[in-house]
Chain A
Amino acid sequence: MKESGTAARGVNWRVRLINPVLDKEIRLRMRSPRAMWTLFFYLLAIGLMAFAAIYLTQVLSGSGSSYNPEQSKILFYFLSFAQLGLVAFMAPGLTAGVISGEREKQTLNLLLTTQQSSSTIILSKLVSSLSFMVLIVVSTIPIYAMVFLYGGVSPKQMTLIFLFYLFIMLVLGSFGIFFSTILKKTMMSVISTYGVTLFIFVGTAILYFVMVNVLEDQYRYSTVSPSSTPYAWVGHIMAFNPAVALYSILEPSISDDAFLSSRYGGSGSGAPIALWLEFMIIYTVISSIALWLSVRNLRPRLNRKR
């Protein structure tokens, strides 16, 4: 991990890509026994879930030894959602203490008096956490590979799913780092990050269903003609939900369903863009803001005008 000493001539990409903070983060993370235990328990959890799912599909199909592609697709969906749940559980835990932890260990001030910029420190912390999460998620690929034994899922779909995981890790990671920077205590930061994660997974879904019902009631009793009261905008609430976004990758038709949600003949015009794409646009903006705020708040604001 150490950069080469012959950096004098030309551009040493290794030095440029791996700055001291990133080098330290990766090195120290992998030295702690916790890293190995995290990996172990993650693989154990996803492995158990995979075997349970295989067993259940076998029992439920009632056909004993024969498989059809539809069942293996269900297994793949199940694994994908299980993995999403685990990622959502892991990302806040790995990132919500990266700055506040240094503050509590009293190492942050020493780091802040070095020449490393605030953005380097924040981004290095994010990248190192992400790379560890990528390591974990990539190490689950052999479990996924079982699905390929039975067919029904394309490698392209799987690649897309893994890219989606990378994105959600980035999003939740940036939230974790944001709270870790602005809150003094790691405990508060962890609670806040899990709170936000819970909201975007469960809160947005509840909000969507409440809004749909409220609007449908209004719509049903309204005297105005159905075509002039579109309420398709509620579909955008679903674009905030990672599980729905993931599902829209697996089943593209869900995007339209979210916007055509009326049971009473409402005529939405379908999804303006795929839900997962809208999800990515929304969270790219929110994550960028979270990271920008983290960079700004890491050090005291010294540049006041006199």
Chain B
Amino acid sequence: MNEQTPMIEIRGLAKSFGSFHALKGIDLTIERGTVFGFVGPNGAGKSTTMLILSTLLAPSAGYAKVGGFDVTQHPHEVRKRIGYMPDFFGVYDQFKTVEYLHFYGASYGIPKAEREALIPQLLELVNLSDKRDAYVDSLSRGMKQRLCLARCLVHDPELLILDEPASGLDPRARIEMREILKELKAMGKTIIISSHILPELAEMVDEIGVIEHGEMVAVGNVADIQSRLRVKRFLHIRLLDREEEAEQFLRDRPFVNRLIRDERGLQIHFGGQDEEQAELLSALMSQGFRIVSYSEAQTNLEDVFLEITKGGGGDE
């Protein structure tokens, strides 16, 4: 398969478990070297898609290709090309870290001499060099996650399928994981990564795909998706008093798509541009509202995600 072949090509992929349709015919193409963020609420079909791509689940209809190889027709070729990290995984507790990697290396048919050279590099990459002789059992959750990531890399796969790699990690461990992923991106790996930490990964994700109820709601690069959204801005207004009155007033103003009042003040999903935003402030002032602050919040991927998935797909 040549370099022009997309890393992942999914067409009409469906999966049903009895009467439950986990995937309802999704289409997706991911080019080589792309870092793809896969977003969606729990049970949307992310893990199902990843399991199919990892040859661990047979699709009910449609097809999925990895590096040009169909996952059902050439699973052996697909397995050579992927490194899969599930959302929940176990480790063989009685292995030492280095033995653990040797085992998986050998399972991928890597000769021992090569493994001897490779494993210290992998441990270095995931910052576990000082734990090489520690029993896996003794590692913290974050370390186990990193070890599992090293395991994914042991056969130098072109594609990494990471299902919520930072779930359950403390903030420090998440930052470490993010740094490692940045390095992997720099190494030219294609990465498909799901959910939670996506807002944190905003600067390294090239494309995102939003999946909900087994259907792709939106696919594209982050900027594209943001620009396609009805809500362009999030305004944050804090008043000294008369907050309820201001809320009533704002609800009737144009471009105010959604308004939430909480202890922090008023949060507005605003559909207008700079001019409209300035006009809104003038209108508030003219009504004599005493404004403490009036600011525009940065939209992030989480907002995008929430916006797309609320009520079935924003402006899609």
Contacts and interface: CB of A to CB of B under 8 A. Distances in A.
Interface string B103-118: 1101111011100100
A302 B75 contact: yes
B253 to A, nearest CB: 53
B57 A20 contact: no
Given A106-B90, A300-B57, A115 B79 contact: yes
Contacts of A111: 107
A69 to B, nearest CB: 48
A113 B113 CA distance: 23
B80 interface: yes
A115 B80 contact: yes
Contact of A113 (B54, B103, B111, B112): B54
B72 interface: yes
A303 interface: yes
Interface string B48-79: 00000011111000010000000111011001
Interface in A6-47: 7-8, 19-21, 23-24, 27-28, 31-32
Given A32-B94, A300-B57, A110 B72 contact: no
Nearest to B109: A115
B109 A302 contact: no
Contacts of B80: 115
Contacts of B109: 115
B107 A105 contact: no
A105 B94 CA distance: 13
B112 A114 contact: no
A20 B79 CA distance: 17
Contacts of A5: 111-113, 116
B86 interface: yes
Given A109-B84, A111-B107, A114-B107, A28 B94 contact: yes
Contacts of A306: 63
Residue in B63, B104, B106 with the greatest tally of chain A CB atoms within 10 Å: B106
B269 interface: no
A112 B108 CA distance: 11
Contacts of B86: 106, 109-110
B107 A116 contact: yes
B89 A113 contact: no
B94 A114 contact: no
Nearest to B94: A31
B88 interface: yes
Contacts of B84: 109-110, 113
Nearest to A24: B103
B58 A24 contact: no
A97 B303 CA distance: 46
A21 B73 CA distance: 25
**Interface size classification for chain B:** 35 or more
A160 to B, nearest CB: 37
A301 interface: yes
B237 to A, nearest CB: 48
A21 B90 contact: no
Given A7-B111, A106-B86, A112 B92 contact: no
Nearest to B95: A28
A273 B134 CA distance: 57
Contact of B91 (A32, A107, A116, A304): A107
A7 B151 CA distance: 23
A12 to B, nearest CB: 10
Contacts of B73: 302-303
A278 interface: no
A220 interface: no
Contacts of A110: 84, 86, 89, 104, 148, 151
Given A114-B79, A115-B76, A303-B72, A21 B107 contact: yes
B104 A114 contact: yes
Contacts of B151: 110
Nearest to A102: B90
Given A107-B91, A109-B84, A302-B75, A115 B111 contact: no
The 6 A-B pairs with the shortest beta carbon distances in the complex, nearest first, are A20-B106, A114-B107, A105-B90, A106-B90, A302-B72, A5-B112
9 contacts: A27-B99, A107-B89, A107-B91, A107-B92, A115-B108, A300-B57, A302-B71, A303-B73, A306-B63
Interface of B: 54-58, 63, 71-73, 75-76, 79-80, 82, 84, 86, 88-92, 94-95, 99, 102-104, 106-109, 111-113, 116, 148, 151, 155
Given A5-B111, A24-B92, A303-B73, 19 more contacts: A7-B111, A8-B111, A20-B103, A20-B106, A23-B106, A106-B86, A107-B89, A107-B92, A109-B89, A110-B151, A112-B55, A113-B55, A113-B79, A114-B104, A114-B108, A115-B79, A115-B80, A302-B55, A304-B72
